[in-house]
Structure 1
C-alpha cells in the first residue's frame, strides 16, 4: 500500500514531531486533498462525491465548510 509505505518511511521523525497529535495531523493532512480531488473528479457534484467516499452528503458538506473548500 502506498500510504502505509510512506508512513513507515517517515515513522521515526513523524511520530516524534507530532506526538499526541498524530491521528489528527494525519486526518487533516489527507482529508483536504482527498476531498478536493474527489470534487474535481465529480465536477463539483457533492452527491456523487459522497457516494464515492462512502459518507453521507451532509457529512461531506460539513467537512467542506469546516475546511473552507469551495464547490469546484
Structure 2
C-alpha cells in the first residue's frame, strides 16, 4: 500500500487534534506550513545539489524567495 502526502498530512493532523485532548488548537495553518516547508526545501536542495537557481525553478519560486525561505529555516548561512 502506498501512502500519499495528503494522507500523511491528514493522519498527522488527526493525531495532533487527539493529542490536544479537547484543548483548542492555535495557528494550525502556520504550524503545518512551517513543518512541511523545511523538509521540502531540504530535499529539493539536496536533489539540486545545492544549486539555488535550479531548486527555485523546480519549486516554481523566485530565487530570492527561495533564499529567504532557506534563511528562515536555518538552511543557509546568512553570510553566504
Q: TM-score range by the shorter chain?
A: 0.7 to 0.9
Q: Take 1:28 and 1:7, find their aligned partners in 2: how far apart are those partners?
A: 13
| Structural RMSD (CA) | 2.1
Q: TM-score, normalised by structure 1?
A: 0.81
| Count of matched residue positions in the alignment of Structure 1 and Structure 2 | 71
- Note the 1:1-72 alignment, pairs <5 A: 2-15=4-17, 17=20, 19-70=25-76
Normalised to the residue count of structure 2, the TM-score between the two structures is 0.74
Q: Which runs of 5+ in 2 are unaligned?
A: none
Mark the CA change 1:10 to 1:70 in structure 2 (over 3 Å): closer, same or farther: closer
Larger radius of gyration: 2
Q: Which has the higher contact order (CA 8 A, sep 6+)?
A: 1
The answer for unaligned runs of 5 or more in structure 1 is none
Q: Which one has the bigger helix percentage? A: 1
